[in-house]
Chains A and B, each alone.
Chain A
Amino acid sequence: MTELNKLNKVMTMKEAVSKFVSDGDILAVGGQNVGRCAMAAVHEIIRQNKKDLTVVGCNLSINMDILVGAGLVKKTESGTGNVEKFGTTFMWRKGIQEGKIQHDDYSHLMLVSRFLAGEMGVPFMPVMSGFGTDILRYSNLEKKCEIIENPWNKGEKVVLFPALNPDVTVMHVSKADEMGNIVIDGFTAHEPEMVKASKHVIVSCEELISSEEIRQNPALTTIPYFYVSAVVEQPYGAYPTSVYKYYDYDGDHVSLYQGLGRKVLKGGERKEYDEYLQKYVYGCKDFNEFLEKATTKERLKELEESMKRICGGER
């Protein structure tokens, strides 16, 4: 019997961020709105003060906003900055309105097509959206896109967007093995393309499973290990956002954060926002300490029970 390759990429989040995130990086952040945001990784990036970041992703949520709040972001490229019912991403909005952050707008399809070009190893991708809109017109970039005529259908316009290959993606998933094979249960949003386009990927997971389990059910592998640099076992690593089949989002904590951001946007007083960062991020040695401060075992149990009801049973 052949001995199969056994890479071990398991490490702590502290090691992973220190090793694979650098100042000035193009950082792609996994998750969307209140779902599966890579909060554990983002907190560690803030603790390690990785700065001058360009943050990219289709939807950017509190995972981006808190990096802006910590003063680490110089630029963003996305389809939205938004937490929907919980409001827009207020620190980001303030940064753009004050001209402190450069932002380039895309539709979600345009941005995911840029990741698709990146993962396919081609220089650009055609898209058929957005003709006549200002998305194609305004940009901080020298050339955001190029409209050409379809060579096979004279008169038909096509808009090309360049490949986007992030320096590093951080994401939180349901399961991974030590090699870095990833299983995502539930929606996958922008992540499959984003991850495969990235030079490095840091994955935190609810459960670390055996490679044997992966190999027994290869159809369930969302993303194979080739792209992944680091695997971190971090239960509740998306809190206060949700992980499908594990736990619901904690609307109270999302609202707490959003309330502080909204205050800064409206009045400019940062005191309470900074206290949040101090208490929940800088003042914690790791994400487990954040969880101890921000929530309780009982509350987490409630979020798990709520998810069970929504999914119609056990995972």
Chain B
Amino acid sequence: MKAKEYTDNEIMIIAASKYVYDYDVVFAGTGMPLISALFAQKTHAKNIAFVAETGPMAPEVVPTPLSVSDPRLMYKAVKHGSLRDVLGTLLQRGLVDVGFLGGAEIDQFGNINSTVIGDYFKPKIRFPGSGGACDIASHAKRILIITKHRKERFPEKCSYITSPGYIDGPDGRKNAGLRNPYPEIVAVTNLAVMRINPSTGKLQIIKKMPDVTIENILENTGFVPEMAENIETVEKPKQEELNLLRNELDPNKAYI
């Protein structure tokens, strides 16, 4: 078989960027979420404002930040604020349109675990923890997850819920007390694009990546995902899109 002309990360970054719209206030950390937001900014969403939890607001990002505290996220910002400015007065206040998340586990309801595997008080594996993720999942109008597709990463139920998806069903968020009860949640992986079906609160396969079969997806998912009526195939990246990623947005290949 011929080697692919693009990497998994590249097609995921581009596929996720389609869910970022012009004029969005975008909350992303670093890594693939950041590159995806920047890709959107350079293509179809020139007027987005990017914010990071440490405080920078609407900067011109210099390639390639490795941390949310990286000075490369601070260039030409309109303000260098605080964590409370971003998480409180923008996010909790309801002014963030789309927030990017990742995690160790994502379950069928779109709940995310980035805290522990095993017993909370003496865990088998300890992960970094919520950071701003729980806040993003609680308040952003739309939530975008980018992650590699592995069976253990998509269990039926998270061993710990760090960030709320639809909790346990279509009205799970409303019943729990979250203020935006029905956000769009989309998960982009190297095999598929899944979206929460609002009538069941469960992840549904809406797109598959090129050269991937539905069987591939099912084999690598720990629960039985719902299927959309028409499952589209994600378009392969165009050469000019790859050039933008490789030459401008991530020249050191930190994330692609």
Contact = CB atoms under 8 A, between A and B. Distances in A.
A15 B30 CA distance: 39
Contacts of A106: 130
A241 B69 CA distance: 9
B54 A82 contact: no
Nearest to A310: B71
B126 A99 contact: no
A85 B30 contact: yes
A181 to B, nearest CB: 18
Interface in A87-125: 88-89, 92-93, 96-99, 103, 105-110, 112-113, 116
| Main SS at interface, chain B | loop
27 contacts: A78-B129, A81-B126, A82-B131, A85-B66, A85-B67, A88-B127, A96-B126, A107-B133, A107-B134, A107-B135, A108-B87, A109-B88, A112-B82, A112-B83, A128-B179, A129-B138, A131-B138, A133-B134, A138-B120, A156-B177, A185-B80, A186-B74, A187-B80, A189-B55, A244-B80, A307-B71, A310-B62
A132 B173 CA distance: 7
Interface of A: 31-36, 58-59, 78-86, 88-89, 92-93, 96-99, 103, 105-110, 112-113, 116, 127-135, 138, 140, 147, 156-157, 185-193, 241-242, 244, 248-249, 251, 307, 310-312
B131 A79 contact: yes
Q: Which of B83, B115, B120 has the most CB of A within 10 A?
A: B83
B84 A79 contact: no
B67 to A, nearest CB: 4
Contacts of A59: 69, 131
Interface stretch (B42-50, B161-169, B185-193, B228-236): B161-169
Given A130-B164, A190-B82, 12 more contacts: A35-B71, A59-B131, A107-B138, A108-B53, A112-B83, A133-B164, A135-B134, A187-B80, A192-B82, A193-B82, A307-B71, A311-B71
Contacts of A84: 29-31, 66-68
B53 A132 contact: no
B70 interface: yes
Contacts of B84: 109, 112-113, 116, 190, 192-193
Contacts of A99: 121-122
Contacts of B70: 33-35, 242, 249
A157 B177 contact: yes
A62 to B, nearest CB: 12
A193 B86 CA distance: 14
A3 B163 CA distance: 55
